[in-house]
Structure 1
């Protein structure tokens, strides 16, 4: 008998919509969130409790300067970026209130005016690369609060190739945030 290679038929990878439905049907444990990252469903814990005070300080500042009709929050919602095949649950976001109208569990990322990600050892790579690339094509302002490096970076001016502007400041100083916010973040409470 002569040995021959036998091709193995592989099913096509699941579509973005199929993955999104799977995330919606998941019974994610309390304190965890599921996101679509690089075509995979990733389940990770919400931020550690020591992150709460900096998140609250930032949320209060953003809420005071958010454009009319927008809300700053840390509630666990998934924002979908269908063109990129991604869906993220940012640590903090500012979004148009109309995004919450209607049914379903996932929101349209086009309604976002700002996202903020607080890095951890396990999420730092995704926050600084994967999410930055996707947010940088659509979301007007993106903040990376690097808890390990004790600094905050503001990205703005999105384009098809990513953000065109970047500013970084160490914790304890102020950082300008451009339109539609136009104020300086006070990071002394971080």
Structure 2
């Protein structure tokens, strides 16, 4: 997978031992991703960095590697050589759903993240809702809450703040080219 050349505009992830190629985020997702990153950065644990850069995080126990839309991770995880950061370095991941990724975001990624990542946020761009999952366990997350965009969402420890979700709606421009 290290040498895999994907077409321009696509990323590759390892899901259940298979390489899955999907498109990068839609342009209209930039604003919600920026608003989310800025708020998370202000509340990130010491030594952790919030970013949307395309990095793969490996999850050895599930033979998976994901490139989340947004991640908050220990900066030390990026001091190593190679292309896969250890999923243990993550304090939070966030995914913005699209028609092509929604199943993986709600199933495969929820399963893998739910065993070790302290907080997982799913911004369901179709339903205009955000769900926070926390309290990982060997069986998956023990807790979750969902709110509509525009309402505050409490992001649990290690962040422990109320996320302002105003501005997360990613409506296409009136003159946008249809998908």
Q: 1:125 & 1:102 partners in 2: Cα distance?
A: 32
Corresponding position: 1:102 with 2:103: no
Who is 2:39 aligned against?
61
Radius of gyration: which is bigger?
1
Equivalent of residue 188 in structure 1, options 141, 166, 169: 166
Superposition TM-score, scaled by structure 2 size: 0.92
Q: What aligned pairs does 1:5-24 form with structure 2 within 5 A after superposition? A: 23-24=1-2
Who is 2:90 aligned against?
112
Equivalent of residue 129 in structure 2, options 145, 148, 151: 151
Structure number with the bigger relative contact order (C-alpha 8 A, sep ≥ 6) is 2
Give yes or no for contact 2:62–2:112 (8 Å, CA) kept in 1.
yes
1:118-138 CA-partner distances (Å, limit 9, x unpaired)? 000111111001110110000
Corresponding position: 1:136 with 2:114: yes
Corresponding position: 1:33 with 2:7: no
How large is the RMSD of aligned CA atoms in angstroms?
0.7
1:47-85 CA-partner distances (Å, limit 9, x unpaired)? 000111000000000001101100000000000001100
Q: Which runs of 4+ in 1 moved over 3 A?
A: none
Q: How far does residue 102 in structure 1 lie from its aligned partner after superposition?
A: 1.8
Q: 2:11 & 2:44 partners in 1: Cα distance?
A: 25
**Partner SS state of residue 90, structure 1:** coil
Who is 2:67 aligned against?
89
Q: What aligned pairs does 1:169-188 form with structure 2 within 5 A after superposition? A: 169-188=147-166
Superposition TM-score, scaled by structure 1 size: 0.87
Q: 1:145 & 1:122 partners in 2: Cα distance?
A: 14
Q: 1:185 & 1:160 partners in 2: Cα distance?
A: 27
**Gaps in structure 1 of 5+ consecutive residues:** 1-22
Q: How far does residue 189 in structure 1 lie from its aligned partner after superposition?
A: 1.0
1:95-129 CA-partner distances (Å, limit 9, x unpaired)? 00000002111100000000001000111111001
Q: How far does residue 31 in structure 1 lie from its aligned partner after superposition?
A: 2.3
**Partner SS state of residue 24, structure 1:** coil
